[in-house]
Structure 1
Amino acid sequence: METRLVPYETLSNAQKQQLDTLQVHPEQLAFSGDIYCALNSLLVNPNPASVKGFVLLAGDLPVAFLLLKRPPCLPHWADEHSATLHALQVDRAQQGRGFGKACLQALPEAALLAWPQIKGLELSVDADNVAAMGLYLTTGWVDSGEAYRGRIGHERRLRWVLNPQR
């Protein structure tokens, strides 16, 4: 099935209603949060240019969601010239079909369209989240070798360089 990563604001009202029903497995909530919290942080942000939501559509059906953040909303560990990935969520009924990988493969282009000046993408992932670590590393993210104490456990910082020539 054809997929595409689109900005949240381009969704139709029907697609936004479908996205509102996205659910992750209960054991994933600690890592990704739920769609309500993710959309709330997107929609109530006082600086909408610094937080953008993206939705993976399979055909016309929303199957995954993620947030990207820029200054002044970057976390303390991020480089100011990057965008950071947050709240990646694939609907539990759609997991195991490659939609997480599709999000990550489409993300560099989507991020550069949103913010052409960024030099990279960064994320922080719980070191015990084996599935997420595997997904990120197999799609080209590089472990920085840095870890810090996060809200759940130790978190690893991963990076994706967008254009080394810039």
Structure 2
Amino acid sequence: MTTQLVPYEHLNAVQRLQVEAIEIHPQQKQFSGDIHGALHSLGGTPTDSIKGFALLHEDVPVAFLLLKRPPFLPDWASEDTATLHALQVDHRLQGKGLGKACLQALPDVARQAWPQIKGLELSVDAHNESALGLYFKQGWVDRGEAYKGRIGYERRMALAF
């Protein structure tokens, strides 16, 4: 399986339409929103502070995520990091290691976008066991801090470079 995590702005017109067709499982929308919400937040920022990335599988987008930097970092994030948001893998292709491929490629693309960052952070629902398992397996560390999120308690996780 050949995959590549690429900046959204590098996608051609057909690939951008394919990103819009990414579907996530209805139960996952409560955690990550949907692709249209993610693209809306990306399109509304003319700055270099929010970047979208698509995971291409044989040149077809199959997953999408956002990274944020100041002034769009959440209050809980460290200023010297980027935060991961809206990680979405098309539900028709889940279970094929695509989430893992996104997370493995993420440090390199984040450092290319912002060489000054020292790591990545994310917030994940404390009951989202599949996401927690994926993050732990990829080396993310639970910071031991939880806070009340919009749908429940959120765990903060970090990946240092």
The answer to whether 1:87 aligns with 2:86 is yes
Specify the alignment match of 1:31 in structure 2: 31
Contact 1:55-1:62 within 8 A present in 2 as well: yes
Q: CA RMSD in A?
A: 0.6
User: Map of 1:55-94 to 2, 5 A cutoff?
Assistant: 55-94=54-93
Partner SS state of residue 49, structure 1: coil
- The answer for unaligned runs of 5 or more in structure 1 is none
Q: Percent identity?
A: 63
Distance 1:75 1:54 in 2: 19
Specify the alignment match of 2:125 in structure 1: 126
Specify the alignment match of 1:139 in structure 2: 138
Amino acid at match of 1:132: A
Cα deviations by residue, 1:9-34 (Å, 9 ceiling, x for unpaired): 00010000111110100000000100
Specify the alignment match of 1:8 in structure 2: 8
Specify the alignment match of 1:17 in structure 2: 17
Distance 2:142 2:75 in 1: 17
Runs of 4+ in 1 over 3 A off after TM superposition: none
Specify the alignment match of 2:152 in structure 1: 153
Cα deviations by residue, 1:94-137 (Å, 9 ceiling, x for unpaired): 11100000000000000000000000100000000011000000
Specify the alignment match of 1:97 in structure 2: 96
Partner SS state of residue 115, structure 2: coil
Partner SS state of residue 132, structure 1: helix
Partner SS state of residue 71, structure 2: coil
Equivalent residues, number: 161
Amino acid at match of 1:38: A
Cα deviations by residue, 1:53-79 (Å, 9 ceiling, x for unpaired): 000000101000000000000000000
Amino acid at match of 1:10: H
Specify the alignment match of 1:41 in structure 2: 41
TM-score (norm 2): 0.99
TM-score (norm 1): 0.96
Distance 1:48 1:103 in 2: 23
Deviation of residue 48 (structure 1)? Answer: 2.4
